[in-house]
Amino acid sequence: MPLSNRADRDAVRDAGNELIRHVQKVMQNVNWLDLLELTDMLPEASRIFVTGAGRSGLVGRMFGMRLMHAGLTAFVTGETITPAATGGDLLVAISCTGTTGYTAYLVERAKQLGAKVVAITAEADSPLATTADKTVIIPMDIDDIVLKAAVFEHATGLCLDAVFNVISERLKVDAAAFQSRHANLE
């Protein structure tokens, strides 16, 4: 069905621009020192596990891949080749609400096994945030949960890409090293 008026033709662009405005506002209010602390913790861990459910899980998978590209030993929970966690390991758990059952369970389990936990959430008072050893808040003031979740995941992805960029620089990951770890069975 053809679009018949200008409002229809501009709807997707306008929605995209609204998302960008929300993400920019969040990024201006992020506590970058918390992300710097995460950046410091990652190379110190024996192994890094990343988890999240739904779209937060997709952000986690992207981050796990980036950590591997940087030369760190990283795994995504739930994969068949993910090893057992122990003391000295680090779990990065991502959940907008901080109440996702699967993610909360893995945080509790990781702590029982002696691993440290970093939670990334929008909710400072959530069970996830209060259980973790370190919490990174992605600050939101959006009531609509669908919009809030979308902005959370985009902002979290950008924040974690910034963490990756700093780690790569610190570890002096050059293009050849990066390329050697990039998937080639594509």
Q: Note the pLDDT tens digit of each residue in 133-159.
A: 999 999 999 989 899 999 999 999 999
Q: Where are the domains of the chain?
A: 32-181
Tell me the two tokens of residue 15. 């929605």
Q: Note the pLDDT tens digit of each residue in 84-141.
A: 999 999 999 999 999 999 999 999 999 999 999 999 999 999 999 999 999 999 999 9
Scored b (16 or more CB within 10 A) or e, 90-126 reads bbbbbbbbbebebbbebbeebbeeebbbbbbbbbeeb
The residues annotated with a catalytic role in the active site are 153
Q: What is the CATH code for 32-181?
A: 3.40.50.10490
Q: Which residues are paired to 120 by β-bridges?
A: 94, 136
Nearest to 70 by CA among 172, 185, 159: 172
Q: To 5 degrees, how large is the angle CA 184–CA 185–CA 186?
A: 90
Nearest to 47 by CA among 82, 79, 21, 12: 82
The pLDDT of residue 185: 82
